[in-house]
Amino acid sequence: MLVADKQDLFRFGLISVLKEVSPQPLTIDESSRYKELMELLMAFSYDLIIVSVEILQGEGFQSLNSFRSDYPETTVLALTSDPSYQGTTDARLASFNKIIATTASKQTYVDILKPILHGPARITQNVKPLSLKENANSFLKTQGLTNRQADVLNLIADGKRNREIAQILGLSEGTVKVHVTAIFKALGVKNRTQAMLLAGHASEKPSKK
């Protein structure tokens, strides 16, 4: 999850509500600056993003739209201290699932966040066995990698360079470099060779029954 707002105290309060409402432990990134927010959106995927309209610039709205194109299942909530945004038809806010006033009560936030964090019950009957690649990706996710980062790592394991990975995944080479740095950090490796070995080991792990 990602919480982005300029006010430290507000972020702290919102994160406290998230942890209070969630039925399970949460991994939450924070951002108080526009540039940092954009770097996080380029490097990671999130199940829930809560971002203040005030922290966004013109490019920020466009970046969120691009993020939603890659991760359509992500819930994105907008925070604003400007009441004129309530009920707005501003096209820039098309990426948001809901707009919340920063002055709203704690109970309002609880009522909005609870169904998101609890979510619908997952149906597990008739689950097909994981394929070799799916099993490897499942293992890599347990190491803290996102779907996109697992894709990048699999291509690294195939011997692809950053430029080739960018072309295959439709990303910029700069974005691929950000992913590679995040992968090395998550896996605790120092270079592509170590990452390739770990990815290869993951692909050999048998599916759990």
**In this model, does residue 206 exceed pLDDT 50?**
no
Instruction: Report which DSSP code applies to 186.
Output: H
Distances (CA, A) of 61 to 92, 133, 159: 6, 34, 35
Q: What is the pLDDT of residues 35-47, one digit of tens each?
A: 888 888 877 778 8
Q: Parse the chain into domains and list their residue ranges.
A: 2-118, 132-203
pLDDT of residue 109: 94
pTM over 0.75: no
**In this model, does residue 201 exceed pLDDT 60?**
no
Task: Using pLDDT thresholds of 50, 70 and 90, give the confidence band for residue 88.
Answer: very low
Are domains 2-118 and 132-203 of this chain identical in fold? no
**In this model, does residue 162 exceed pLDDT 50?**
yes
Q: Which CATH architecture has domain 2-118?
A: 3-Layer(aba) Sandwich (3.40)
Higher pLDDT, 4 or 184: 4
CATH class, range 132-203 = mainly alpha
The DSSP line for 52-89 is: EGGG--HHHHHHHHHHHHH-TT-EEEEEES-GGGTT--
pLDDT of residue 141: 56
Mean pLDDT, range 64-89, rounded to an integer:
72
pLDDT of residue 11: 92
Please give the sequence-ordered ranges of beta strands (E in DSSP) within 63-202, or none if there are none.
Answer: 75-80, 98-101
Task: Using pLDDT thresholds of 50, 70 and 90, give the confidence band for residue 93.
Answer: low
